[in-house]
């Protein structure tokens, strides 16, 4: 191969820029040329591309978001559109495509590979919920951002004897809620992986209150329940005073942590090494201590669910 394309797709995540930089510079180092595609799969249809050299990706390693922009492109679900995109990739002599994104983006990459385009995926999503890897770029930054926010909210919860209900991102997975919850010493976390009983939650909160705990923190993943429903229930069914914070998009932005910038760089190197050795249609990932490349079709065999021990521990330590 002589020329690769790179795009970011789906929800932006801190560390995507570090991955764009890593992919571009390592590929150039190996003698390849690099084309950036703007706005994910949409750019393949609207023909928005730009050559990337070393300098084009300077000064971005520490920046959140993605310099290539990203998009959710619903048209790309259709085979006709995928064929059109594949044709455009061929017209531009792009031999292989690096896709930085989440689960959906991986399915898009797989669809392109079915049209004969070699693709490789670098996991980039704050949710940490992709098959084929234990870690996705952006997760550590988000967990740390949530932790900082919770610690600020805690000051008021403590001073006013409140139950702080904090809604965090995670539509399908509770990794953010669980990890931030354990780090912040939350009393309870509500995650989509577990059935939520607000009755049990209130019993738990009341009992802690009786034992002298005047304030507490409850972290709710958006996919488990709306924070406002948890707030309403506590307000109606207990004598405790809740307050509610929906963290929203502060969780998605900001400079990547060291871990995210490092993982982005290591995943990038692996992605390019794979393409050069003729290994493609794979998702790069951390599996145990190694950085692996797993074929899309095998990825579901490497599904890493929420850590049940951590889930139990949050609730044991939080009272
Ligand atoms: P993420 O990659 O963060 O999970 P999405 O689920 O929104 O984000 O997916 C990003 C994009 O990937 C979608 O907008 C679409 O263009 C593409 N995509 C998702 N699922 C598929 C699919 N089954 N087939 C083809 N393309 C898909």
User: Which of these, 136, 135, 191, lies nearest to 167 by C-alpha position?
Assistant: 191
Query: Best mutation site among 76, 99, 172, 176 for ligand 1, i.e. most ligand atoms within 8 A of its Cβ?
Result: 76
The reply to whether ligand 1 has any atom less than 6 angstroms from the CB of 138 is: no
pLDDT (0 to 100) of residue 318: 87
Q: Whose CA is nearest to atom 15 of ligand 1?
A: 73
Angstrom distance (rounded) from CA 77 to CA 255: 32
Residue 49, SS3?
strand
**All residues at 6 or more sequence positions from 20 whose CB lies less than 8 Å from its CB, including other chains:** 6, 8, 36, 52, 57, 60, 66, 67, 68, 100
> What whole-number distance in Å separates Cα of residue 181 and Cα of residue 306?
13
Q: What is the pLDDT of residues 60-114, one digit of tens each?
A: 999 999 999 999 999 999 999 999 999 999 999 999 999 999 999 999 999 999 9
311 versus 318: the higher-pLDDT residue is 311
Residue 152 pLDDT: 96
Consult the annotation and say whether 252 binds a ligand. yes
73 ligand 1 Cβ < 6 A: yes
What does the pLDDT average to over 277-303?
97
User: What's residue 33's pLDDT?
Assistant: 98
Q: What pLDDT sits at residue 196?
A: 86
Distance 104 CA to ligand 1 centre (A): 3
Q: Which residue out of 53, 56, 95, 127 is catalytically annotated? A: 127
Cα 246 to ligand 1 centroid, rounded to whole Å: 26
**How do residues 193-250 score in pLDDT, each as one tens digit?**
999 899 999 999 999 999 998 899 999 999 999 999 999 999 999 999 999 999 999 9
Known binding residue 105? Answer is yes
pLDDT of residue 40: 97
Is residue 190 very low, low, confident or very high in pLDDT (cuts 50, 70, 90)?
Answer: very high
Atom 10 (ligand 1) nearest CA: 10
Q: What is the pLDDT of residue 186?
A: 97
Query: Does 167 score more than 90 pLDDT?
Result: yes
Q: Does residue 76 have its Cβ closer than 6 Å to ligand 1?
A: yes
**pLDDT computed for residue 28 by the predictor:** 98
Q: How confident is the model at residue 269 (pLDDT cuts 50, 70, 90)?
A: very high
What pLDDT does residue 319 have?
80
Alpha-helical (H) ranges within the chain are: 16-29, 40-46, 79-91, 103-114, 139-160, 175-184, 198-210, 227-237, 258-276, 308-317
Please indicate whether residue 127 is annotated as part of the active site.
yes
Residue 152 known to bind ligand: no
CA 196/CA 190 separation, integer angstroms: 7
Beta bridge partners of 98: 6, 120
Considering the chain, what is the average pLDDT of its residues? 97
Residue 255, annotated as binding a ligand: no
DSSP state, 256?
A: P
11 touches ligand 1 (CB under 6 Å): yes
pLDDT bucket at 22, cuts 50 / 70 / 90: very high
pLDDT of residue 279: 97
Q: Which atom of ligand 1 is nearest to the CA of 82?
A: 25
Residue 94 CA to residue 184 CA, distance in Å, equals 46
Residue 266: pLDDT band by 50, 70, 90 thresholds?
very high
In short, whether 72's Cβ falls inside 6 Å of ligand 1 is yes
The ipTM assigned to this model is 0.98
């Amino acid at each position: 191969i002589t020329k690769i394309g790179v795009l970011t797709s789906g929800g932006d995540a801190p560390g995507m820029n570090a991955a764009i930089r890593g992919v571009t510079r390592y590929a150039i180092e190996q003698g390849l040329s690099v084309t950036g595609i703007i706005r994910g799969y949409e750019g393949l249809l609207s023909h928005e591309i730009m050559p990337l050299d070393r300098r084009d990706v300077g000064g971005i390693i520490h920046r959140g978001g993605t310099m290539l922009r990203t998009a959710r492109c619903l048209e790309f679900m259709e085979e006709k559109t995928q064929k059109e995109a594949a044709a455009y990739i061929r017209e531009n002599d792009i031999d292989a495509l690096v896709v930085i994104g989440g689960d959906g983006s991986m399915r898009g990459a797989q669809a392109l590979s079915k049209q004969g385009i070699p693709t490789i995926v670098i996991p980039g999503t704050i949710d940490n919920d992709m098959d084929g890897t234990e870690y996705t770029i952006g997760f550590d930054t988000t967990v740390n951002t949530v932790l900082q926010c919770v610690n600020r909210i805690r000051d008021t919860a403590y001073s006013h004897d409140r139950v702080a209900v904090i809604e965090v991102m995670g539509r399908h997975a509770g990794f953010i809620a669980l990890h931030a919850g354990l780090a912040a010493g939350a009393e309870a976390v509500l995650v989509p992986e577990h059935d939520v009983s607000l009755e049990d939650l209130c019993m738990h909160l009341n009992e802690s209150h009786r034992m002298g705990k005047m304030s507490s923190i409850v972290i709710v993943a958006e996919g488990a329940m709306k924070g406002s429903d948890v707030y309403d229930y506590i307000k109606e069914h207990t004598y405790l005073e809740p307050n509610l914070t929906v963290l929203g998009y502060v969780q998605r932005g900001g400079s990547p942590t060291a871990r995210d910038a490092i993982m982005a760089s290591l995943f990038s190197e692996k992605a390019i090494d794979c393409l050069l050795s003729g290994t493609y249609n794979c998702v790069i990932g951390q599996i145990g201590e190694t950085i692996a490349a797993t074929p899309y079709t095998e990825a579901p065999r490497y599904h890493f669910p929420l850590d049940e021990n951590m889930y139990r521990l949050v609730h044991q330590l939080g009272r």
